[in-house]
A and B are shown apart, each in its own frame.
Chain A
Amino acid sequence: MAESVDNRVDKPNESPETREQNRRLSVRLAVVAAAMFGFGFALVPLYDQICVALGINSVERPSQVVNTQVDRSRTVTIEFDSNAHNIGWRFEPLVNHLDVHPGELATVEYEVVNVTDKPVTGQAIPSYGPPSAGEYFHKLECFCFSQQTLQPGERRRMPVTFVVDARLPKGVSSIALSYTFFQVAGREGSG
């Protein structure tokens, strides 16, 4: 029978060199495993930093508007929408839509009422239709920048001050701005 001395699976006799190599490899692998585990923990603060650095953070901040040159050759219709499904608030825009020129500053108000008998804190999350229009919609003042706490029965009017960037693609003539109010803290899964 041909005796093969190379890599066969059943090798009971391991030379000391191999054992040392295996030991070194195991140590390296253990270090890598520990590092990956640590990386998972480090991701929690890292995630926030990456979002800030790349400017992607959907709980938003006021925009720095550089160019306020009004482009009167174009009109964009902004449609205002509101959603408050699981928060026990009544939430409506005071106007349904507004025509603006890119570069022109405009302010609209939303009204929110806490119809429950407990104080409730909510966070408004914006969404845009078409979604890509969000890049060109700069908000200078918005109730969505911070959480809002309403006492039982409290009614509040909240402004949004915005400007549409003149670089909005020509094909877009209508932008829907929608806010959804979500209750903050103590969000439980059901069932």
Chain B
Amino acid sequence: MKGFFSGRIVSLVAALAALAASAPAHAVAWYFQTPASQIARDIDQLHQYVMWLIIIIFVGVFGFMFWACYAHRKSVGHKAAQFHENTTVELIWTIIPAIILVIIAWPVTKTVIAQKDTSASDITVKVTGYQWKWGYDYIKGEGEGIQFLSTLTTPREQIEGNAPKGENYLLEVDNEMVVPVGKKIRVITTAADVVHAWWVPAFGVKQDAIPGFLRDIWFKPEKEGVFRGQCTELCGKEHAYMPIVVRVVSQDDYTKWVTQKKQAMSASADDPGKTWAEDELIKRGEKVYAANCVACHQANGRGMPPAFPSLAGGKLTTGPKEGHIDIVLNGKPGTAMAAFGKQLNDTDIAAVISYERNSWGNKAGIVQPAEVKARRK
């Protein structure tokens, strides 16, 4: 029937044309990422094995159906048979699928057990999910004591379409998790607020991060490189904006990184006694704001009340400094306002407070790092 065919063809052509007009230059991802661990390789193989099985069964069964659609049509004169049961056939097609499932079960079971075996690990890293960033704590093995937060660094302009998107759009962070190649890494996940999930597809490892509870999982990276993943449990507004980046390096490079990171950690304790000039402090504060505050309180400071209060003309941001310092240091329990005192040093906190007190129409003076330090206990 010409009538309804033309409808189909037109819509198909339209869709393809729209697609061609907007085709991006980069490769089109359509399958598992290249495995970088034995487990990821095992998963890939299991998947292929099951897919072949499914395709064979599917083609077989629907071969019959489409043959019937062709050969058993009334319009070619086929008369209906009247059979409507056959116990033998029914038993066969009940038992054979059951057997097939048992055959699938054995190799799969082996992998399930292997995925849960977190014993004898070389390094243990605690991963904490926050709204909306990850925290990494190296708690055992080489690198023990290193702690840092890992926040998305893709600029807001790229997200809002005011700048071209970089290659690692939404998959880049300020502090990557670094691990040595070939070592078994035990990851203990937890969360600070709601359920998140930590996932690196190339390693085949995904684990929910549950507030108040620990969960452990492991991976063993087999090759050096940078591997990227995303949070995989809806955790609020910025769920799409808290990626995971793991850099796998040689054992030597790892040792170098550990040394350098520990030095940086002690050095980045900026001297809290320093007195800053107003414009320097505010400029630094603007950067701190962009990395930590803009998602909720917005670039124009107006927030999204009532959940995210406005900082423009706010009671705390234009009132006495102590109240402003306290809420940034200690957060507000029961709300999404975190205690940044644990994440930022005195200088960064003084800077961001100064920025807030001097933006969006606020004119409320600046705060020096020493004043922040004094209000910490």
B partners with A: yes
> Which residues of A are interface residues toward B (Cβ below 8 A)?
77, 79-81, 83, 85-88, 90, 96-97, 113-117, 125, 127-131, 152-153, 171-174, 176, 178, 180, 182-183, 187-191
* CA gap between A117 and B329 in the complex, in Å: 12
Contact of B339 among A79, A80, A85, A176 (CB under 8 A): A85
* CA gap between A174 and B140 in the complex, in Å: 10
Segment at the interface with A among B172-180, B274-282, B330-338, B347-355: B330-338
The 8 lowest CB-CB distance pairs between A and B, nearest first, are A129-B216, A129-B214, A85-B192, A115-B377, A153-B377, A86-B333, A190-B335, A88-B330
Q: In the bound complex, do residue A173 and residue B333 qualify as a contact, i.e. CB atoms below 8 Å apart?
A: no
Q: For residue B189, which residue of chain A has the nearest CB?
A: A129
Question: Could you name 18 residue pairs across A and B whose Cβ atoms are closer than 8 Å?
Answer: A79-B140, A81-B137, A81-B139, A81-B214, A85-B211, A88-B333, A96-B139, A114-B377, A130-B116, A130-B118, A153-B377, A174-B118, A174-B140, A176-B124, A176-B216, A180-B211, A187-B334, A190-B307
Residue in A87, A114, A174 with the greatest tally of chain B CB atoms within 10 Å: A174
Q: In the bound complex, do residue A176 and residue B188 qualify as a contact, i.e. CB atoms below 8 Å apart?
A: yes
Q: In the bound complex, do residue A178 and residue B334 qualify as a contact, i.e. CB atoms below 8 Å apart?
A: no
Q: In the bound complex, do residue B377 and residue A116 qualify as a contact, i.e. CB atoms below 8 Å apart?
A: yes
Q: Which residues of B contact A96 (CB under 8 A)?
A: 139-140, 144-145
Interchain nearest-CB distance for A154 vs B (Å): 8
Interchain nearest-CB distance for B124 vs A (Å): 6
Q: For residue A191, which residue of chain B has the nearest CB?
A: B307
Interchain nearest-CB distance for A122 vs B (Å): 11
Contacts A96-B144, A174-B186 hold; do A116 and B119 have CB atoms under 8 A apart? Answer: no
Q: In the bound complex, do residue A85 and residue B338 qualify as a contact, i.e. CB atoms below 8 Å apart?
A: yes
Q: Name 5 extra pairs, CB < 8 A, besides A86-B339, A88-B339.
A: A81-B188, A85-B193, A114-B377, A174-B118, A180-B190
> Which residues of B are interface residues toward A (Cβ below 8 A)?
116-121, 124, 126, 128, 130, 137, 139-140, 144-145, 186, 188, 190, 192-193, 211-216, 306-307, 326, 329-331, 333-336, 338-339, 341-342, 376-377
Q: In the bound complex, do residue A174 and residue B212 qualify as a contact, i.e. CB atoms below 8 Å apart?
A: no
Q: For residue B145, which residue of chain A has the nearest CB?
A: A96
Q: In the bound complex, do residue B331 and residue A127 qualify as a contact, i.e. CB atoms below 8 Å apart?
A: no
Determine the main DSSP class of B at the interface with A: loop
Q: In the bound complex, do residue A83 and residue B334 qualify as a contact, i.e. CB atoms below 8 Å apart?
A: no
* CA gap between A19 and B250 in the complex, in Å: 86
* CA gap between A167 and B87 in the complex, in Å: 52
Q: For residue A187, which residue of chain B has the nearest CB?
A: B334
Q: In the bound complex, do residue A189 and residue B334 qualify as a contact, i.e. CB atoms below 8 Å apart?
A: yes
Interchain nearest-CB distance for A81 vs B (Å): 6
* CA gap between A131 and B306 in the complex, in Å: 38
Q: For residue A173, which residue of chain B has the nearest CB?
A: B119
* CA gap between A176 and B217 in the complex, in Å: 12
Contact of B188 among A125, A129, A187 (CB under 8 A): A129
Contact of B216 among A130, A153, A182, A188 (CB under 8 A): A130
Q: Which residues of A contact B329 (CB under 8 A)?
A: 115
* CA gap between A46 and B238 in the complex, in Å: 42
Q: In the bound complex, do residue A97 and residue B334 qualify as a contact, i.e. CB atoms below 8 Å apart?
A: no
* CA gap between A180 and B192 in the complex, in Å: 9
Contact of B124 among A79, A113, A183, A188 (CB under 8 A): A79
Interchain nearest-CB distance for A40 vs B (Å): 27
Q: In the bound complex, do residue A83 and residue B117 qualify as a contact, i.e. CB atoms below 8 Å apart?
A: no
Contacts A88-B330, A174-B121, A190-B334 hold; do A180 and B341 have CB atoms under 8 A apart? Answer: no
Q: In the bound complex, do residue B333 and residue A87 qualify as a contact, i.e. CB atoms below 8 Å apart?
A: yes
Q: Which residues of A contact B331 (CB under 8 A)?
A: 86, 88
